[in-house]
Amino acid sequence: MEFAFSAEDDAFRRELTEFIRQERSPEWDDADRGSDDASWTATKQMRQKLADRGWLTMHWPEEYGGQKASPVRSAVFNDEMTYYRAPGRDNFGVRMMGATLMMHGSEEQKSLHLPPVARGEVQWCQGYSEPETGSDLASLNTRAVRDGDEFVINGSKIWTSMAHRGDWIMLLARTDTDAPKHRGISFFLVDMKTPGIQVRPIVNMAGRHDFNQVIFDNVRVPAGNLVGEENRGWYVAVTLLDFERSGIDYSANGRRLLDDTWRYAADTKRNGQVLAQVPWVRNQMADRYIECEVARLIAYNVAFMQGEGLVPNKEASMSKVFGSETVQRVTKTCMEVLGMYGFLNRRDKWAPLQGRIQENWMMSFSGTIAAGTSEIQRNVIANRGLGLPRG
């Protein structure tokens, strides 16, 4: 079987990479490594340029500001943007919220929320995980109580990426405490400026502020912000998770780290021998390159299935678990190639590759937890893919 892209997709990849090279600026070096004001400004500026070209939401229908591009074309976009560490993408608004709203949202919700995303004007975040209920998402405790034309939300979400920059949050809350845990959950769109919302920063061990805890204290949300049916938000949430897990970012990031490390190995001697010529280095790097290519093909298969109108539930889980674990193996190998220098962080002038390997190695551990743990993914694959009974 031959895996090949269409001539149009290949032409788009060339156009995109040339655009990235022309737009590249020094601010990009930190835009993917933290969320300070300078890097956030670079992200917003690039996002606006992508929106102006119609690339930010290229796979969306034209009436919502898209180009009706195929999911494969969108995957090509994400592939190259990740590899070149280009800022500007909006995964929460474009790939997750937007795609889900098109399937489950009302016409009023689509008209209100989709155009600003397409124009690059709004930042979304996701309120799923909670303290003590991370992996077992359906056991969430955040409550939403109906009060006339509003819902009153109380509770907290944790590990909420970009909440400190977010304009809106999509969240799950329990609306029926007597129903089985997968029922009685509803899906809401909430303005982050609503009174009663507090964002508390969480700085990770790599020194980055991406995560937050979000507190909801009697937050009043219009009933019109409910997506889909009341008490059936779990089915909306599962759709969103499929889009969240179908990204090609894992393999693209892994390939870039391998390329950077290989160039370093080719220019560095250890014990009088060029690192790139050491047999164990060559063997380990070759294994990692192969795994990245496998992860890449699995991710593109998910995009192909979406283009065929299929819902790649188990396939998305396969892509997520293999891709995230591949990045862990990649960063471990790269750390071994760098040796003791690999433990230096980006604040140390002697750190090779600006300390990116160490930082990505530490970040890789969260990859098998965020967006659904590897254990959860394997359960999905076993139950829905292999038809195995629940244990």
CATH number at residue 64: 1.10.540.10
User: What confidence score (pLDDT) does residue 30 get?
Assistant: 67
Do 276 and 376 belong to one domain? yes
- Whether residue 33 lies inside any domain: the answer is yes
Q: Beta 226-227 vs 209-222: how paired, if at all? A: unpaired
Beta-strand relationship, 185-191 and 226-227: antiparallel
Of the two residues 324 and 33, the one the predictor is more confident about is 324
pLDDT score of 224 more than 70: yes
Q: Are residues 276 and 338 in the same domain?
A: yes
Span 26-35, average pLDDT: 67
| Overall average pLDDT of the 56-83 stretch | 91
Name the packing angle between helices 71-83 and 7-23 (round to 10°): 30
216 shares a domain with 260: no
Domain assignment present for residue 313? The answer is: yes
| 53 backbone φψ class: left, alpha, beta (φ>0; ψ -120 to 50) | alpha
For residue 289, give the CATH number of its domain. 1.20.140.10
Confidence band, pLDDT 50/70/90 cuts, at residue 243 = low
**Do 75 and 300 form a contact (C-beta atoms < 8 A)?**
yes
Among the candidates 43, 72, 89, a domain finishes at: 89
CATH number, domain with residue 175: 2.40.110.10
Work out the widest C-alpha separation in the chain, in whole angstroms. Answer: 76
Residue with more model confidence, 372 or 336: 336
Same structural domain, 259 and 375: yes
Q: Reduced to 3 states, what is the DSSP secondary structure of residue 205?
A: coil
**Counted domains in the chain:** 3
Q: Which two tokens stand for residue 163?
A: 């909440």
269 and 224 within one domain: no
Q: For residues 360-368, give the mean pLDDT.
A: 92
- pLDDT given at position 245: 52
Any domain includes 311: yes
Name the residue range of residue 279's domain.
245-385
Looking at the structure, do residues 250 and 379 belong to the same domain, yes or no? yes
The pLDDT value given to residue 328: 98
- What's 161's DSSP letter? T
CA distances from 114 to 120, 186, 290 (A): 10, 20, 38
Residue 98 belongs to a domain: no
List the catalytic residue out of 244, 291, 325, 359. Answer: 244
Lowest mean pLDDT among 83-87, 338-342, 383-387: 383-387
What confidence tens digit (pLDDT) does each residue in 307-330 have? Answer: 888 888 899 999 999 999 999 999
User: Which residue among 38, 65, 89 closes a domain?
Assistant: 89
In a domain, 100, yes or no: no
Same structural domain for residues 206 and 252? no
Q: Domain check: are 369 and 254 in the same one? A: yes
Do 182 and 250 share a structural domain? Answer: no
- In this structure, the answer to whether residues 49 and 83 fall within a common structural domain is yes
Q: Mind listing the pLDDT tens digit for each residue in 85-103? A: 999 999 899 888 998 899 9
Q: Note whether residue 120 is domain-resident.
A: no
Cβ atoms of 127 and 199 within 8 Å: the answer is: no
244 pLDDT more than 70: no
Is a pLDDT exceeding 80 seen at residue 35?
Answer: no
Of the residues 89, 115, 135, the one at which a domain ends: 89
- Residue with structure tokens 């160490």? 358
pLDDT at 135 over 70: no
Q: Is the pLDDT of residue 229 over 90?
A: yes
Is residue 244 part of the annotated active site? The answer reads yes
Residue 31 lies in a domain: yes
pLDDT of 48 over the 90 cut: yes
| Location of structure tokens 């920059």 | 165
Examine the domain organization and report whether 378 and 268 are in the same domain.
Answer: yes
3-state secondary structure string across the chain:
CCCCCCHHHHHHHHHHHHHHHHHCCCCHHHHCCCCCHHHHHHHHHHHHHHHHCCCCCCCCCHHHCCCCCCHHHHHHHHHHHHHCCCCCCCHHHHHHHHHHHHHHCCHHHHHHHHHHHHCCCCCEEEECCCCCCCCCHHHCCCEEEEECCEEEEEEEECCCCCCCCCCEEEEEEECCCCCCCCCCEEEEEEECCCCCEEEEEEECCCCCEEEEEEEEEEEEEEHHHEECCCCEHHHHHHHHHHHHCCCCHHHHHHHHHHHHHHHHHHCCEECCEEHHHCHHHHHHHHHHHHHHHHHHHHHHHHHHHHHCCCCCHHHHHHHHHHHHHHHHHHHHHHHHHHHHHHHCCCCCCCCHHHHHHHHHHHHHHHHCCCCCCHHHHHHHHHHHHCCCCCC
Rounded to whole angstroms, the Cα distance separating 259 from 229 reads 48
Q: Residues of the chain with pLDDT > 70: what percent?
A: 95
The verdict on 346 and 376 lying in the same domain is yes
Is residue 14 situated within a structural domain? yes
